[in-house]
Amino acid sequence: MPQGTLYRGREGMWSWVAHRITGLLIFVFLLVHVLDTSLVRVSPEAYNAVIETYKNPVVGLGEAGLVGAVLFHAFNGIRVMLVDFWSQGPRFHRQMFWAVGAIWVVLMVPFLVRHLANVFGG
């Protein structure tokens, strides 16, 4: 392994990139959520109109993406803490990356089956 880095464009780098992207997506969602929820204080009618626009398949797919982003970000965050604070973490960072992916798939598949059935009227 080259000195000075663990990653060199492999699993660690991709998890770093995905962690930043999912963090940004979660932040944008939270910002929009705070803004649209605050409408209820300004005008309940405006709030209801905005919420009504969310009842479509595109937003349903976005909700699935949000759940995927939150799950990946959470489990990858645990992996990052283990790499940083566990003395054996750097040694096992690749295996932990693949474990995060496996856990993500195991949780996302049943969620997607149920959620997409609801989104598309199943």
pLDDT of residue 4: 55
Q: What angle do CA 20, 87, 6 make, to 5 degrees?
A: 45
Per-chain mean pLDDT for the chain: 92
Q: What is the pLDDT of residues 40-78, one digit of tens each?
A: 999 999 999 999 999 999 999 999 999 999 999 999 999
Q: What angle do CA 13, 19, 22 make, to 5 degrees?
A: 140
In 3D space, the residue among 90, 60, 93 whose CA is nearest the CA of residue 76 turns out to be 93
Model confidence, pTM: 0.85
Q: What is the pLDDT of residue 56?
A: 92
């009227």: which residue's tokens?
121
Q: Does pLDDT of 16 surpass 60? A: yes
Tokens 């199943």 belong to which residue?
122
At 18-40, the pLDDT tens digits run 999 999 999 999 999 999 999 99
